[in-house]
Amino acid sequence: MADVADLQSQLDELKRAYRSGARTISYDGKSVTYADGAELRAAIASLESEIARAMGLPSSVIGVVRGTKGY
């Protein structure tokens, strides 16, 4: 497992790419091309969770509640 500093560096690079509209990210001599913004946002969320776990923090959970009137 990478240390928190490496993970944070990767996260910063992903966020920078997302803001600029880039889909290809190069890090540590490797390149990754994401299909679209949604895939890039998923990678960002995954790294944020991994950093939170590495630091012993609880990861964020967002729930959506939907309902109908039942008839």
The string of pLDDT tens digits covering residues 12-30 is: 999 999 999 999 988 778 8
Cα 21 to chain center, whole Å? Answer: 15
Assigned domain for 36 exists: yes
Assigned domain for 63 exists: no
Q: What is the mean pLDDT of the chain?
A: 85
Assigned domain for 29 exists: yes
Assigned domain for 60 exists: no
In whole angstroms, how far apart are CA 5 and each of 8, 15, 43, 46, 65? Answer: 5, 15, 17, 16, 36
Assigned domain for 65 exists: no
Assigned domain for 50 exists: yes
Assigned domain for 10 exists: yes
- In 1-71, the DSSP E strands lie at 24-27, 30-33
pTM over 0.75: no
* Overall domain count for the chain: 1
Lowest-confidence segment of 1-5, 11-15, 67-71 by average pLDDT: 67-71
pLDDT of residue 64: 78
For the cut 80, the answer to whether the pLDDT of residue 71 exceeds it is: no
